[in-house]
Amino acid sequence: MAARNSKELFEAIIFFGNKVVAKEMRYSEFEAVLDGVVGITELANREIYAAYVKITPSLKVHSLVTFQIEFNERGFADEDWNIPLRHLAENAGPGPDLGAGPIRLACRSQCSVSWYQRELWEPNQRDIDHFCLLQEAVTRNKLGLITDDELNTIPILSAPTPAPAQLNEPEIEVPLMCDPVDTSDWQSSQQLTAQSGSEKLRAQAGEFQAKVDLLIQRQKQTIQAMEEKYRVEIEQVKRAMRNEAQSYRHHGQDLEQQANHNKVLLEKMQARNTRLERDLIQAQEQAESHKDQFNSLKEEHLELLHNQRVADDDKTRLSIELKERLTLQALEMEEQNDELAKYRRANSALTDQIEGYQRQVVVHSDSTSSELAELRALIDQKQAEASDLKARWVSQSVDYERLSKQYDQASHALAESTQSLKSLTSASFKTQELRKTLEFQAQDLEQRLGESQRENEQLKRDRIEAEDNAVANVEVYEKMEKLELVFVAYHPGAGHISLPARQLEDYLDKPLSFAAQKCSVTLEHYKSWLVHYDGSECEQCGVPVKRIDTPSDYQIGVNNRCTKHRLDSGNVTQFRRSS
């Protein structure tokens, strides 16, 4: 570090070891370490407590920023490390007095930028006095900083007044006699020697001054070139960092929108999955109930078929028996009719014969009494036979009527059995139709069950994909957190809220909770104030009321109501005091 103006400050980096100062370097050297130009082999594979120090020309600590930095196995600094040390030092709070008044201190407990707190560390004054070690290291001045005393002791290169030169006086033989000596030659030679020495010293001083001026000019040019080079590189790095931060900010916004979209889709898919699971359970229950109904109807159908077959067999057998009986009765009736016809013919023949005998009796009234008695006996016999035939005819008529009734009853029973057979056949057809309907319903339920299972599998795949997206979002959040990106959200009453990347996911889930926490009120209180802020009117009658712009000054039941419907806070306070 070259010499600077007394009003300027020196920048240095000090690394702490175990109760000692491990290493010191200038800030320009530390920037080369951060750029990956050089490494620090003695700090390889270590996470070091370090301090950024601004030092006055009088070797006093002006500003201090304590930070942590990690080095890899080759001694190079972490590429993701990026802490604005100068900004933190300029905006640091007050610290202890190290000899030149209170210093500016930025540490973990006192940091102007909250999201850098975890990258800082807290200096100790009890076990290891880091401030004392720091002040001792600055006082030792191993870095070779040019102090005010050294600036005052640097001679000004001008035409100096030459000191009287010590001339090699020639050996003069001093005479031992007291003769007078002529000293004019010696004085003139001494003057010439002094004059030539003075001119020689002036020439050497001018040459030395020219060399010093040339060296200073070259150093200034070198310093200006290096400052210009580093300024350009720093501007390029800052521009690249700004572009990268802008790209990450846009990427973060895209990820936020995608996260919101994925969240909405996930909620929809979860609701749809819940609905489909509920429909699936209902469909399974319906399928089970339809299956039970199908089994019961199938059993009833089989039982009806069995009963129908048994009834058909019984009725067929009964019908056959009735037909056989009717056939036999018909044959018997035909035989009886034939016999009755024979009896009628015989009766008519006997009647004709009796009438003929009566006519013969009338004609042959003069015949003998013996023949008349025989004829009367024959007539009585024939009349008895006719009475017997008549009685048999009456009995046959009764049997015929009885058989006719039985035939009618059998015909009626046969018709009823035929009708029941038809009804059973119709019931069988209906049972078959119901069976087919149940089969169709079962197939439909199986198809719906398959579709529900496929939709459930699709939802599971979507859920897995959403979880993968959530994992990817978490990785992106971690990357943004490493880059120290900060998002800003605006809420009424709370203003602008700065959100580190690690809080972005929680903010997206509950944004109003963050706003309520920022306003130091509860979530319900903040929601009630939002309603009042959007429309300042009485919640009872709709009359406009005065709007309260600060959530902490808002009172529920007082500021959101008119004077007519407002709760009397004084009475409430008085009641609380009295109770």
Structural domain boundaries, residue 451: 264-479
Which one, of 175, 128, 180, lies nearest residue 22 by Cα? 128
Q: Are residue 300 and residue 437 in the same domain, yes or no?
A: yes
Q: What is the DSSP letter of 69?
A: E
Please report whether residue 221 resides in a domain: no
Decide if 532 is inside a domain: yes
**Over 50: is that where the pLDDT of 257 sits?**
yes
Task: Examine the fold and report which residue of 121, 153, 185 is the final residue of a domain before the chain moves on.
Answer: 153
Query: For residue 178, what pLDDT is reported?
Result: 42
Spatial distance between the Cα atoms of 477 and 165, rounded to a whole number of angstroms: 79
- Specify the DSSP class assigned to residue 143: T
The reply to whether 380 falls in a domain is yes
426 half-sphere exposure, CB direction, 13 A CA radius: 6
SS3 per residue for 97-142? ECCCCEEEEEECCECCCHHHHHHECCCCCCCCCHHHHHHHHHHHCC
DSSP 19: S
Number of structural domains, the chain?
Answer: 3
Q: Report pLDDT for 156.
A: 46
pLDDT, tens digit (0-9, with 9 covering 90-100), for 201-226: 888 888 888 888 888 877 887 887 78
Give 68's strand partners.
49
Q: Is 261 left (phi over 0), alpha (psi -120 to 50) or beta?
A: alpha
- The helix, strand and coil proportions of the chain, stated in percent and rounded to the nearest 5, come to 65, 10, 25
Q: In terms of pLDDT, which residue wins out, 364 or 135?
A: 135
Whether 219 is covered by a domain: the verdict is no
Residue ending a domain, among 122, 153, 184, is 153
Residue 137 has pLDDT above 80, yes or no: yes
Residues 460 and 332 in one domain: yes
Residues linked to residue 26 through DSSP beta bridges, in sequence order: 12
Pair (138, 273) in one structural domain: no
Residue 151: predicted pLDDT: 57
Same domain? For 134 and 268 the reply is no
Note the pLDDT of residue 548. Answer: 87
pLDDT score of 569 more than 50: no
Q: Is residue 134 one of the residues assigned to a domain?
A: yes
Q: How far apart are CA 37 and CA 75, in angstroms?
A: 11
More confident residue, 179 or 563: 563
pLDDT of residue 504: 77
Mean pLDDT across the chain: 77
pLDDT, tens digit, 9 for 90 and up, residues 408-454? 777 777 777 677 767 766 766 777 777 777 778 777 777 877 777 78
- Sign of the dihedral defined by the CA atoms of residues 83, 86, 87, 90, in that order: positive
Average pLDDT over residues 250-260: 75
Q: Which of 145-154, 333-342, 467-476 has the lowest mean pLDDT?
A: 145-154
Same domain, 29 and 55: yes
- 465 and 538 both lie in a single domain: no
Apex CA 130: angle with CA 129 and CA 136, to 5°?
Answer: 95
In this structure, the answer to whether residues 428 and 498 fall within a common structural domain is no
Is the four-CA dihedral 251, 254, 260, 264 of positive or negative sign?
negative
Answer yes or no: is 68 within a domain: yes
pLDDT surpasses 80 at 347: no
Q: What is the pLDDT of residue 248?
A: 73
How large is the average pLDDT for residues 12-41? 90
Are residue 447 and residue 333 in the same domain, yes or no? Answer: yes
For position 428, what pLDDT does the model report? Answer: 66
Read off the tokens for 214: 């040339």
Report the pLDDT value the prediction gives residue 375, as an integer from 0 to 100: 61
Of 137, 153, 169, the one marking the end of a domain is: 153
pLDDT, residue 120, reads 94
What CATH code is carried by the domain that includes residue 448?
Answer: 1.10.287
351-361 mean pLDDT: 68
Residues 274, 390 within the same domain: yes
Q: How far apart are CA 283 and CA 296, in angstroms?
A: 19
The H or E element that residue 499 is part of is: strand 495-500
Q: DSSP E strands: which ranges in 195-294? A: none
User: Among candidates 257, 245, 251, which has minimal Cα distance to 483?
Assistant: 245
pLDDT computed for residue 199 by the predictor: 81
Whether residue 457 sits in one domain with residue 323: yes
Half-sphere exposure of 434 (CA within 13 A, CB side): 17
* Average confidence (pLDDT) over 344-358: 72
Report whether pLDDT(66) > 90. Answer: yes
Helix (H) or strand (E) holding 63: strand 61-71
Residues 51, 97 share a domain: yes
Asked, for residue 180, whether it belongs to a domain, the answer is: no
Give a yes or no: residue 185 inside a domain: no
**Residue 172 pLDDT greater than 50, yes or no:** no
Dist. CA 171–CA 341, nearest whole Å: 214
What is the model's pLDDT at position 185?
A: 60
Percent of the chain with pLDDT over 90: 10
474 and 493 both lie in a single domain:
no
Q: Are residues 459 and 272 in contact, defined by beta-carbon separation less than 8 angstroms?
A: yes
